[in-house]
């Protein structure tokens, strides 16, 4: 049997040396490696051998298969290289032509909105302060005026870790405390910062809600800062982001860490305020929450609320992007669907 295997190998390799075209190569492959080729015939003889000879015979046939396969691949590569050389020599391929352009990546739509937001607030004197994603319960809730039994905690379904008191932050607001303590110099210096980052909430995923999303928090602290400062500052932000003629309105609301609090809406830029499906036929789109920083929060950040005051705001870049482009499903941002991403 070994002599038969060696004979097939020598014959096959000798024939392969004479192959000069792709068609001849395919014929050779069918003759030796095909489903009805000689290698298959050799393997079919295995059942007729004595049991003690089958192992050695099978190993020899497999070695032959590996040798013929390697030789076939080498010959195929050589024929392809020869064909390319011939095409170049005959002028069939113009090597002076520019190469095909490679498709380049671009910024994710969320990052595009984030960078625009950074630019606008930077022009108004706000620094970027990056805070941690993994927080402790006290900084995420208690120091922001959420007592342990406060009903507002139910507004934010929390991802808890196995370590007691360690959570994934549910909002970027804990950065208020950390930035006050980092930049405030024990409550003696005014400050203006924005706090961008990812937030996490244990919520049902729908077309309007996700378990992770970006937020951009912002705070300004100084002497005699008033609600009118917040309204004027945010009006300038809105006009730069959405256009100089954008109308906005302020609605009373509630957040534990601000008092008084308000929601900020802009006129629907899809229907021009006439009412449509995007704005739920109200003519307005909510883009941010805001308010004057609660005295307890100022105190926890190291500031004396009898001397210092400040305002805070928070917005969602994904929500702003949804509204600007009339996108109806927030899940598109994390699905990595190229058909969606290429539009931006």
Strand 212-222 vs strand 248-255: parallel, antiparallel, or unpaired?
Answer: unpaired
The CA distances from residue 95 to 85, 92, 99, 102, 318, in Å, are 12, 9, 9, 17, 46
**pLDDT bucket at 91, cuts 50 / 70 / 90:** low
Q: What pLDDT, in 10s, does the model give residues 256-268?
A: 999 999 999 988 8
3-state helix, strand, coil in the chain (%, to 5): 45, 20, 35
Distance CA 220, CA 312 (A): 7
Distance CA 107, CA 317 (A): 14
Distance CA 292, CA 225 (A): 9
Mean of all residue pLDDT scores within the chain? 86
Q: Which residues of 142-163 are buried (b: 16+ CB within 10 A; e: fewer)?
A: bbbbbeeeeeebeebebeeeee
Q: Which residues of 47-60 are buried (b: 16+ CB within 10 A; e: fewer)?
A: eeeeeeeeeebeeb
Distance CA 20, CA 10 (A): 18
Instruction: Using a pLDDT cut of 70, give the percent of the chain over it.
Output: 95
Q: Which has the higher per-residue pLDDT, 209 or 172?
A: 172
The residues, ordered by sequence, that sit 6+ positions from 83 with a Cβ below 8 Å of its Cβ are none
Strand 258-267 vs strand 191-200: parallel, antiparallel, or unpaired?
Answer: unpaired
The DSSP secondary-structure symbol of 160 reads B
Cα distance from N-terminal residue to C-terminal residue, the chain? 66
- Mean pLDDT to the nearest integer, 272-295: 86
SS3 category, 290 = strand
pTM (2 d.p.): 0.67
Distance CA 298, CA 190 (A): 12
Distance CA 37, CA 261 (A): 82
């Amino acid at each position: 049997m070994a002599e038969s295997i060696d004979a097939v190998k020598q014959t096959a390799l000798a024939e392969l040396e004479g192959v000069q075209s792709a068609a001849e190569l395919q014929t050779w492959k069918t003759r030796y490696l095909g489903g009805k080729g000689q290698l298959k015939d050799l393997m079919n003889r295995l059942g007729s051998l004595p049991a003690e000879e089958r192992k050695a015979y099978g190993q020899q046939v497999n070695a032959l298969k590996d040798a013929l396969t390697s030789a076939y691949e080498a010959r195929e590569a050589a024929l392809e290289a020869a064909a390319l050389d011939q095409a170049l020599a005959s002028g069939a391929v113009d090597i002076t032509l520019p190469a095909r352009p490679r498709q380049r990546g671009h910024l994710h739509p969320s990052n595009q909105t984030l960078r625009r937001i950074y630019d606008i607030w930077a022009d108004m004197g706000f620094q970027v302060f990056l805070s941690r994603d993994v927080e402790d319960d006290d900084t995420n809730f208690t120091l922001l005026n959420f007592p342990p039994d406060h009903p507002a905690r139910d507004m934010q379904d929390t991802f808890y870790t196995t370590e007691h008191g360690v959570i994934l932050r549910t909002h970027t607001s804990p950065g208020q405390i950390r930035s006050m303590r980092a930049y405030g110099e024990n409550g003696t210096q005014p400050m203006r910062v924005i706090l961008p980052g990812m937030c996490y909430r244990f919520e049902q995923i729908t077309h309007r809600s996700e378990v992770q999303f970006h937020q951009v928090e912002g705070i300004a602290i100084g002497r005699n800062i008033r609600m009118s400062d917040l309204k004027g500052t945010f009006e300038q932000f809105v006009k730069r982001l959405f256009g100089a003629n954008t109308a906005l309105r302020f609605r009373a609301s509630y957040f534990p860490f601000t008092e008084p609090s308000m929601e900020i809406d802009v006129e629907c830029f899809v229907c021009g305020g006439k009412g449509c499906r995007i704005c739920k036929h109200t003519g307005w789109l909510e883009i941010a929450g805001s308010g004057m920083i609660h005295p307890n929060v100022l105190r926890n950040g190291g500031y004396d609320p009898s001397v210092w005051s400040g305002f805070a705001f928070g917005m969602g870049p994904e929500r702003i992007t949804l509204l600007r482009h009339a996108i109806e499903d927030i899940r598109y941002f994390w699905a990595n669907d190229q058909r969606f991403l290429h539009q931006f």
